[in-house]
Structure 1
Amino acid sequence: MTTRLTQNSDTSGARSAALIGGPGEVLAEERLARFVRERLAGEDLDGRSVCLVVPDATRSCPLPLLLSSVHAALEGRVSRLTVLIALGTHAPMGERELAAHLGYPEGGLDRVYPGMTVINHRWWEPDTFVSVGTVPASRVAELSGGLLRRRVDVRLNRAVVEHDVALVVGPVFPHEVVGFSGGNKYFFPGVAGAEIIDVSHWLGALITSSEIIGTLGVTPVRALIDEAAAMVPSRRLALCVVAASGSGALHAAAFGIPESAWAAAAEVSAETHVRHLDAPVRRVLSLIPAKYDDIWTAAKGFYKLEPVVADGGEVILYAPHIRRISEMHPEIEQVGYHCRDYFTRQWDRFKDLHWGVLAHSTHLRGAGTYDEEHGERCRVTVTLATGIPEDVVRAANLGHLDPAEVDVEAFAADPDTLVVPEAGEVLYRLRPPAQGGGRPGPGRGR
């Protein structure tokens, strides 16, 4: 097995990450298992307690394969093994969901993964958290390039702190808040308190989703997350993978400290999860998969497509299975969806609300302007073709389309429309003009 070593130049003195696979490759299960076994064998884990921080079901990831490989490498070596589901502020997973997600029969965790405990990140319960430090306002200002100046209490799930080692296991994709997901993001916001979630997400909103999404390297939000992660007293490691969107296939896996493993995987993700078009499209029909069960999560089907929509164009989120805007954040229905300037130009009205909610609002509404004379003017129209009642959708400042009226084949035949299946993980961008080889239309983007 050939293992490459990569170095994250943004992490001073960081150890190199080990990387297998790459763009266009598909890792065999045995190759992955051997990689995990060899990497973990080289770590001082005997007698240690280990907390595995893993994603919920809103990410494409062959988690049973990864988890079984890690468990096989650690069983009998470690004193305690706990799986912590990094919900962020998503809904908790029940036993049936956990069993399907982690790869064991319902009620049979101990038969498949003996000695392992599984817990949800119970972000709604104050006792979940412990404070590990603060980021001073002056440092937040420095990291954000002056966009924010606010002291942040760094709280995270006490299970991380109460284990000797925290091992992140999860995928890397282009991301609307941080540039590319994964790595330390599984701590913040994955298992973090509201304070750093609000500040980091609002910082991303100020930069704007279309500007930051798919940006390699240490973005201002990534810098804030890394600053907080450095305060975690447990030893941090990461197994970062690049998964084929919508499938269980893996293109690559990287292991090391979170900063380096993430950087190595992000480089592969940038070549795997980005499609380029030669010209903007007037309309996108974004087909939302079942793993997104409310608009809070399904909004990724907008984030990843906004960059290729022409001014005055439209993104339709087609998701007949969705019945709620947000199960866990109903306040978004009162706030509604608005561009960034709508909030910043009326900050006294909104500054006391959860900044994470405001950030979600701006990310889904996209680019736009606001002033008292002209009101709000957004660059594109966002339309929901879902099971959410029309009055709720329009009250949230979004367009409504009866999903029964959506003919996917007819949309696909329209030369002005881009139909995107399994939307939410692959980023679409316009190809820089110098690289263009003509204007073949939306259906022929790479």
Structure 2
Amino acid sequence: GVSGGRVDFPIPIEVNKRLISGQYDLIVSIGQVVPHEVVGMANYSKNIFVGCGGKEIIDKSHFLGAVYGLERLMGRDHSPVRKVFDYGEEQFLSDIPLQYILTVVATGQGAPASTPAAAGAGVDAGVDADVDAAAVATAPRICGLYAGRERQLFEAAVRLSQARNLCLLDAPLKKVVVYLDPEEFKSTWLGNKAIYRTRMAIADGGELLIIAPGLKHFGEDDLIDALIRKYGYAGTDKVLEWVETEDDLRNCLSAAAHLIHGSSEGRFKITYAPGHVSAAEIEQVHFNYAPLDDMLRRYDPQQLRDGFNTMPDGEQIFYVSNPALGLWALRDNF
């Protein structure tokens, strides 16, 4: 099957009944094509089957992507989850009056890039040499617009997004520091984007430090928060075992998928420096803890530039000011 033998459940194709009711002359789905941790590349039919889908298809598609392996699918088109969505559209939605408007947004975080310059320069974002990469990263702009129903339009958008939204590096990174805006990231459910988007660039035995001044809880709702606190980010094998034996996690596969996504599988160290969560709580979910004030003094977001930075004591880090703006990976893998 599409999971490579990791799961054996059926996935029902569920969408909001209004889409197939016949009451609309035209249904327009609008969204951005960008690397995505569940399906590989966001949008197109994902907008329908997740954005307008039922709980079971959402939960099971997320779990399918997680057990297949985030690092195998992110930034790529033909993932197992995308194959499920393609099948659903071809078999069940071909007759509805659906059209897509797909955008690709360029930011300074994407494009080719990155070996450290002698002075610790920022990422070469494929822009003019006299333009600051960090400044460009704050000014996203639409660089592609695709309208229609044919899959080839999505494929063209994927190719452009891969060119504009992937930051490809020549060598793995030993230490990555990610800053999470406190107004946007208040949970690890959202904040773990720092892990998803950088993990493909981190060296075995490396470290990811996540500076999260706004972090207050783990889940975005009480149920998910309780499940994360109970099980923690323990890795794929443990989560698969718990899904087989524990009813609460088996009945919330989106939470199980999140727990898999948030683990480095023992490959690199993940350290959180949270604003409102204790060291004991962080360590309970299998992350390492660092004091926020100490990390902000050492890695001042106001002083760092996106990309390579050399600290006063000679430590070299790779800094990411907003993990939502791209995907960082090794050039050889693409």
TM-score in terms of structure 1 length: 0.59
Structure 1 residue 242 and structure 2 residue 135: aligned? no
Letter of the structure 1 residue corresponding to residue 270 of structure 2: V
**CA shift in 2, pair 1:197/1:269, >3 Å:** same
Q: Distance in 1 between matches of 2:80 and 2:28?
A: 24
Q: Deviations over 1:2-35 (max 9, x none)?
A: xxxxxxxxxxxxxxxxxxxxxxxxxxxxxxxxxx
Structure 1 residue 325 and structure 2 residue 218: aligned? yes
Counterpart for residue 10 of structure 2: 151
Q: Distance in 2 between matches of 1:422 and 1:191?
A: 28
**CA shift in 2, pair 1:147/1:235, >3 Å:** farther
Query: 1:280: how far off?
Result: 1.5
The structure in which a higher percent of residues are strand is 1
Match of 1:365, SS state, is coil
Q: Distance in 2 between matches of 1:292 and 1:404?
A: 18
Counterpart for residue 206 of structure 2: 313
1:253 aligned to which of 145, 162, 178: 145
Q: Distance in 2 between matches of 1:241 and 1:291?
A: 23
Q: Distance in 2 between matches of 1:303 and 1:243?
A: 19
Does structure 1 retain, via aligned residues, the 8 Å contact 2:4–2:68? no
Counterpart for residue 181 of structure 1: 42
Counterpart for residue 135 of structure 2: none
Q: Percent identity?
A: 24
Unaligned runs of 5+ in 1: 1-140, 369-377, 436-446
Q: Distance in 1 between matches of 2:267 and 2:4?
A: 26
Q: Distance in 2 between matches of 1:236 and 1:310?
A: 43
Q: Distance in 2 between matches of 1:318 and 1:258?
A: 42
**CA shift in 2, pair 1:388/1:158, >3 Å:** farther
Counterpart for residue 421 of structure 1: 321
Matches within 5 A, 1:203-242: 203-215=64-76, 217-230=77-90, 231-232=92-93, 234-242=96-104
Q: Distance in 1 between matches of 2:51 and 2:273?
A: 29
Q: Deviations over 1:143-199 (max 9, x none)?
A: 434443222232223343345232111111111121111111112222211211122
Match of 2:178, SS state, is strand
Q: Deviations over 1:361-382 (max 9, x none)?
A: 111112x2xxxxxxxxx11121
Q: Distance in 1 between matches of 2:170 and 2:63?
A: 31
Once structures 1 and 2 are overlaid, which stretch shifts more, 267-276 or 295-304? 295-304
Counterpart for residue 363 of structure 1: 261
Structure with the bigger RCO (C-alpha within 8 Å, sep 6+) is 2
Match of 2:322, SS state, is coil
Q: Distance in 2 between matches of 1:271 and 1:187?
A: 25
Q: Distance in 1 between matches of 2:150 and 2:61?
A: 18
Does structure 2 retain, via aligned residues, the 8 Å contact 1:281–1:416? no
Structure 1 residue 342 and structure 2 residue 254: aligned? no
Query: 1:254: how far off?
Result: 0.7
Query: 1:346: how far off?
Result: 5.2
Does structure 2 retain, via aligned residues, the 8 Å contact 1:206–1:340? yes
User: How many residues are paired up?
Assistant: 282
Counterpart for residue 280 of structure 1: 172
Letter of the structure 2 residue corresponding to residue 188 of structure 1: F
1:405 aligned to which of 294, 310, 317: 294
**CA shift in 2, pair 1:161/1:239, >3 Å:** same
Matches within 5 A, 1:62-211: 141=1, 143-162=2-21, 163-164=23-24, 165-211=26-72
Query: 1:251: how far off?
Result: 0.9
**CA shift in 2, pair 1:339/1:258, >3 Å:** farther
Q: Distance in 1 between matches of 2:20 and 2:274?
A: 41
1:263 aligned to which of 117, 135, 155: 155
Does structure 2 retain, via aligned residues, the 8 Å contact 1:303–1:424? no
Does structure 1 retain, via aligned residues, the 8 Å contact 2:243–2:256? no
Q: Deviations over 1:30-64 (max 9, x none)?
A: xxxxxxxxxxxxxxxxxxxxxxxxxxxxxxxxxxx
Q: Distance in 2 between matches of 1:209 and 1:284?
A: 18
RMSD between aligned residues: 2.4
Does structure 2 retain, via aligned residues, the 8 Å contact 1:238–1:261? no
Counterpart for residue 11 of structure 1: none
**CA shift in 2, pair 1:384/1:238, >3 Å:** same
Does structure 2 retain, via aligned residues, the 8 Å contact 1:299–1:424? no
Larger radius of gyration: 1
